[in-house]
Amino acid sequence: MIKFTDISKTFIVKKQEIHALQHISLEIQDGDIFGVIGFSGAGKSTLLRMVNALESPTEGTVEINGRDINKLSFNELRKVRKDIGMIFQQFNLLESKTVYDNIAIPLVLKRMNKADIEKRVSQLLDFVELADKRNAYPAQLSGGQKQRVGIARALSTDPSILLCDEATSALDPETTDSILRLLEKINKTLNITILVVTHEINVIQHLCNQVAVMERGHIVETGSVLDVFSNPQQNITKRFVRNVLPDTIPASVAAKLKEDTRHYKIIKLRFLGDNVEENILYYINKHFSAETNMLFASVNELQKTVVGIFILQIIGDNTEFDKITAYISEHNIQWQEVTL
């Protein structure tokens, strides 16, 4: 487990204090794919770099499997670092070395013998599906292939934790997808805990099971991806989530509604899992004296669970509206009134 307890980090630049992290407490369980999302400057990389002690906190503690990594001796820290792989947005490969040699670097530094290095690098090349690029140089590779080399290098020492700093931000959507599938395979088949920092919500959506949202050095919201995405609380979270799970009335529909002179209210419904299959709209139309009009609908899948968002105009008086919303609540469907 990785445990941050009340972490703060202040940088001092030209006598000015920069509060990069403020009172962060977070637990990342073994086996998690944990995503930290935030805009540029939120403090994500600083937080990530605390895990392998590339940054040390001004206050607070970082523990890995119960050991405070800032209290380790030099040799102990070296050992812990071997258990933590890291990949980067710009891949950080040595241009003058072949793919094989880049992957072998940590093993050479570890003084592994040549035959064992050969065996391990060959395994890794197969794992990241780059066996045919063994003798190529980084300049001859695509971005996705370079990141695969970075991943193989990070896995060479057989770590139990992998840190990913904007690992797909330099890649096109299709290549991003293939790297996300590879990271998922690493988590599932090698049982490696993955900590991802990103500003791309689709990375969290398609890869992570847990998420923390960072804003100006603080964690403002955290939880399972399903919980946070299906019911975001903070404005920044809503902004991110809206990009992958839209939940707003299209502008042209809103303009028409403004001209509607009938008495109506608007509600947003969020369905999770099996709830989606219930034909609630049919029931409302049949049993209440109100007319419903679907203004917006989206159905997506998150963590293998279906998430539906419907926005309904309910035309009728307030008594019927109250009955309808009571009925919806009874069915454990989240709803909220929406104003234009």
Q: Which residues bind ligand ATP (CB under 6 A)?
A: 11, 13, 18, 20, 38, 40-46, 199
Q: How far is the CB of 143 from ligand ATP (least distance, A)?
A: 18
Q: How far is the CB of 157 from ligand ATP (least distance, A)?
A: 25
Whether 87 and 103 have beta carbons less than 8 Å apart is answered as: no
> Following DSSP, what letter does each residue of 60-85 receive, concatenated?
EEEEETTEEGGGS-HHHHHHHHHTEE
> Following DSSP, what letter does each residue of 217-265 receive, concatenated?
TEEEEEEEHHHHHHS--SHHHHHHHHTTS--S--HHHHHHHHT--S-EE
Q: How far is the CB of 41 from ligand ATP (least distance, A)?
A: 4
Q: How far is the CB of 87 from ligand ATP (least distance, A)?
A: 15
Q: Nearer to ligand ATP by C-beta: 21 or 183? A: 21
Whether 233 and 222 have beta carbons less than 8 Å apart is answered as: no
Q: How far is the CB of 181 from ligand ATP (least distance, A)?
A: 23
Q: How far is the CB of 56 from ligand ATP (least distance, A)?
A: 12
The 3-state DSSP composition of the chain as helix, strand, coil percent (nearest 5) reads 40, 30, 30
Q: Nearer to ligand ATP by C-beta: 214 or 328? A: 214
Determine the Cα–Cα distance for residues 80 and 2; give it in Å rounded to an integer.
12
Determine the Cα–Cα distance for residues 274 and 303; give it in Å rounded to an integer.
14
Question: What are φ and ψ of residue 296, in 5° steps?
Answer: -160, 140
Whether 192 and 186 have beta carbons less than 8 Å apart is answered as: yes
SS3 189: helix
Q: Nearer to ligand ATP by C-beta: 44 or 120? A: 44
Structure tokens at 283: 């029931």
HSE (side-chain half, CA atoms, 13 Å) at 115: 0
Q: Nearer to ligand ATP by C-beta: 40 or 75? A: 40
Q: How far is the CB of 58 from ligand ATP (least distance, A)?
A: 12
Q: Nearer to ligand ATP by C-beta: 50 or 104? A: 50
Q: Nearer to ligand ATP by C-beta: 166 or 232? A: 166
Q: How far is the CB of 222 from ligand ATP (least distance, A)?
A: 16
Place of tokens 């919500």: 201
Q: Nearer to ligand ATP by C-beta: 41 or 143? A: 41
Question: What angle separates helix 173-190 from helix 143-155, to the nearest 10 degrees?
Answer: 20
Q: How far is the CB of 224 from ligand ATP (least distance, A)?
A: 22
Q: Nearer to ligand ATP by C-beta: 82 or 199? A: 199
Determine the Cα–Cα distance for residues 276 and 173; give it in Å rounded to an integer.
29
Residues 6+ apart with CB under 8 A from 1: 27, 28, 29, 30, 63, 64, 65, 66
Q: Nearer to ligand ATP by C-beta: 147 or 156? A: 147
